[in-house]
Amino acid sequence: AAAAKAPVKKNPKVANVSVQLEMKALWDEFNQLGTEMIVTKAGRRMFPTFQVKIFGMDPMADYMLLMDFVPVDDKRYRQGAFLSRRYAFHSSSWLVAGKADPATPGRVHYHPDSPAKGAQWMKQIVSFDKLKLTNNLLDDNGHIILNSMHRYQPRFHVVYVDPRKDSEKYAEENFKTFVFEETRFTAVTAYQNHRITQLKIASNPFAKGFRDCDPEDWPRNHRPGPLPLMSAFARSRNPVSSPAHQNGTEK
């Protein structure tokens, strides 16, 4: 068998970066029930919102922050409080309904403040409240495209903007990825677990009947073009294979 590839030594600009998940107690509460996130054709924001506090950046260096979503496994699920041809309720748990649907286009969401100095990122909580989830395979708004009734793991990436002219050669050294297992969720078009609905209403000040889309649609941001490191993300868009620690695992 071929020898395992040695891990890439990270650039000191990202090697010392650490990340703390905000609202961890709320994420844990949802996770214990089996978190569900609504996906719509128009795009729906996540709740809880993915928010982090960042430490260990070089205050004067430029960084980009982004997220992507990878399948937890290769399965499609079903659940429901009624019996029908589409859903089957069984002990309030998700049942495997078959193999996963074909993979959706792999997209990343750049934080709209990217790029920014490490000092700016570290001085406040970073919120991905503009990120939207959609099930529209033809979406042209830059939203994250997911398959309904599939499970996903959000991933958070810190990218050092390397000023060297040949920076593409160092792409894999210049980013660091964090995974918080408690943020996993099942994408749904309607909540399947009534306890999730109740918890969302109780903890989300903006939950007013779970409208299909937000009243103010955020303007399309012209983010920088594809980076060399995107190919590294694309290669790793296979289902999550190893469990992550609760304080976020670097992958």
Residue 194 pLDDT level (bands cut at 50, 70, 90): confident
The C-alpha torsion from 130 through 250 and 234 to 133, rounded to 10°, is -20
How is residue 90 annotated by DSSP? B
Contact of 183 with 153, CB cutoff 8 Å: yes
Domain borders along the chain are: 12-209
Task: Give yes or no for residue 99 having a pLDDT over 80.
Answer: yes
CATH of domain 12-209: 2.60.40.820
Categorize the per-residue pLDDT at 227 as very low, low, confident or very high, splitting at 50, 70 and 90.
low
Segment 57-72 shows an average pLDDT of 97
Q: What is the mean pLDDT of residues 59-85?
A: 82
Among residues 105, 61, 110, 78, the alpha carbon closest in space to that of 227 is found at 110
pLDDT the model gives residue 30? 95
Burial class, 217, CB count within 10 angstroms (exposed 0-12 / middle 13-18 / buried 19+): exposed
User: Rounded to 5, what percent of the chain is helix, strand, coil?
Assistant: 20, 25, 55
Query: Percentage of residues in the chain with pLDDT exceeding 90?
Result: 61
Q: Mind listing the pLDDT tens digit for each residue in 161-185?
A: 999 999 999 899 999 999 999 999 9
State the average pLDDT over residues 8-36.
95
Average pLDDT (7-36) is: 95
pLDDT band at 244 (very low <50, low <70, confident <90, very high): very low
pLDDT the model gives residue 71 = 95
Tokens linked to 176: 């660091």
- Asked if pLDDT for residue 218 goes beyond 90, the answer is no
User: What's the confidence (pLDDT) of residue 78?
Assistant: 82
pLDDT value at 34 more than 50: yes
Of 155, 157, 154, 159, the closest CA to residue 118 belongs to 159
Half-sphere exposure of 47 (CA within 13 A, CB side): 18
In terms of DSSP H, where are the helices of the chain? 12-15, 24-33, 118-122, 194-203, 229-235
Whole-model pTM: value is: 0.80
